[in-house]
Amino acid sequence: MVPFLSPVNQIDPSLPQSIMNAHATRSLLRRQLPTGGKQISRNAVGNQYRCFSCSVKKSQQPQSTPPPPPPKSSTGTTHFGFETIEEALKEQKVAGVFSSVASSYDTMNDLMSLGIHRLWKDHFIRNLNPGRNPLTSNTAQEKGWNILDIAGGTGDIAFGMLDHASTINNDAHTKVTVADINPQMLAEGRKRALATPYARSDRLRFVEANAEKLDMIPDNSIDLYTVAFGIRNFTHKDVALREAYRVLKPGGVFACLEFSKVRNPVFDAIYKRWSFSAIPLIGQLVAGDRDSYQYLVESIERFPSQTEFRDMIKDAGFMIPGQGWEDLTDGIAAIHKGVKPA
């Protein structure tokens, strides 16, 4: 599971003055907030200071002046939140964001979503219903599902899948491969796995991998490909979708849980207000890092809408079940699914 957020470890030498100021503020914060202290000292300073009012202004900008479209250059650019950066840099920057949050990850997720993210993940798992029940399946040539959890670093989706398969479907063979691009997040997942019954079994495996290049996973080998709150951070979403199509068996399922667009305009206004003002503030107070949480809300804003993402899944070759997605909490998050044709 990719965390909602974390700091950007980049010091911009062109801004000595702002660094000094920010440093002074942070050390003050460190003294006042002992819980966030460790994070702050590790992350030094973000490359850009954004005040509270600027972020609110930014949240309202898209209607009048949309975020600058990435200019086409020969090297290729992509967006990192509302910024436009070189494609090659995005991976590093995202890695920086996720490197140090692992420990405050759960607390932050609970605070930002008011605990609702647990309900979304439970629903996601229950809805996919992983595992082959040995009591109802008469053919024994194939046991269990082979699940690939992309961007699943801290492992909560993986543990949920294994728990569901074991306790609901009485399936002791379903396997989960947790892949994440970030070694720190994987280390956190391995640590957490020790508290589950799967730590020393062959049912759980951790792999460091880029979702756009899954060379260690053979073609047509996966029953279920899941990515929860991760695909937003991919540099090339279409390449990742094609890679998912390659590794899935015919009939295999691509399932994605991701932030999406709220349909109701009134609720959307309240939600935008919460995400652009409260979330960076919570990030600053609890994790000691504002910029990373600013990136979180901006990347959510930049993620394609339900219909656009459904069409991206269709373009990768998948069949779409029903309308193609299911809104959670009026569209704050959405579950997208695709089935590889047999």
Q: What is the DSSP track for 96-112?
A: HHHHTTGGGHHHHHHHH
Contact partners, residue 6, CB within 8 Å, separation at least 6: 96, 97, 98, 99, 100, 101, 102, 287, 289, 292
Rounded CA separation 99/96 (Å): 5
Rounded CA separation 304/325 (Å): 13
Count of residues that interact with other proteins, criterion CB under 8 A: 27
Stretch that binds other proteins, among 208-216, 244-252, 288-296, 297-305 (CB under 8 A): 244-252
The answer to whether the CB of 257 falls within 8 A of the CB of 121 is yes
Q: Which residues of 31-61 are buried (b: 16+ CB within 10 A; e: fewer)?
A: eeeeebbebbeebebbbeeeeeeebeebbee
Measuring CA to CA, which residue among 123, 161, 125 is closest to residue 144? Answer: 161
Q: Which 246-265 positions form the footprint of other proteins (CB under 8 A)?
A: 249-253, 255
- Whose Cβ is closer to other proteins: residue 223's or residue 289's? 223
Tell whether residue 145 is a contact of other proteins (CB under 8 A): yes
Among 132, 192, 203, 237, binds other proteins (CB under 8 A): 132
Tell whether residue 183 is a contact of other proteins (CB under 8 A): no
Residue 217 CB, shortest distance to other proteins, in Å, is 16
Instruction: Read off φ and ψ for residue 203, nearest 5 degrees.
Output: -85, -15
Tell whether residue 116 is a contact of other proteins (CB under 8 A): no
String marking each residue 266-305 x if it binds other proteins according to CB under 8 A: ----------------------------------------
The answer to whether the CB of 161 falls within 8 A of the CB of 132 is no
Tell whether residue 326 is a contact of other proteins (CB under 8 A): yes
Rounded CA separation 8/322 (Å): 40
Rounded CA separation 279/299 (Å): 13
Stretch that binds other proteins, among 121-129, 149-157, 261-269, 276-284 (CB under 8 A): 121-129
Stretch that binds other proteins, among 29-37, 39-47, 73-81, 125-133 (CB under 8 A): 125-133
Residue 132 CB, shortest distance to other proteins, in Å, is 6
- Residue 235 marked as a ligand binder: no
Q: Which residues are annotated as a binding site?
A: 154, 180, 210-211
Q: Which residues bind to other proteins, rule: CB under 8 A?
A: 127-130, 132-133, 136-137, 139, 145, 223-224, 249-253, 255, 319, 321-323, 326, 337, 339, 341-342
Q: Which residues are annotated as a binding site for S-adenosyl-L-methionine?
A: 154, 180, 210-211
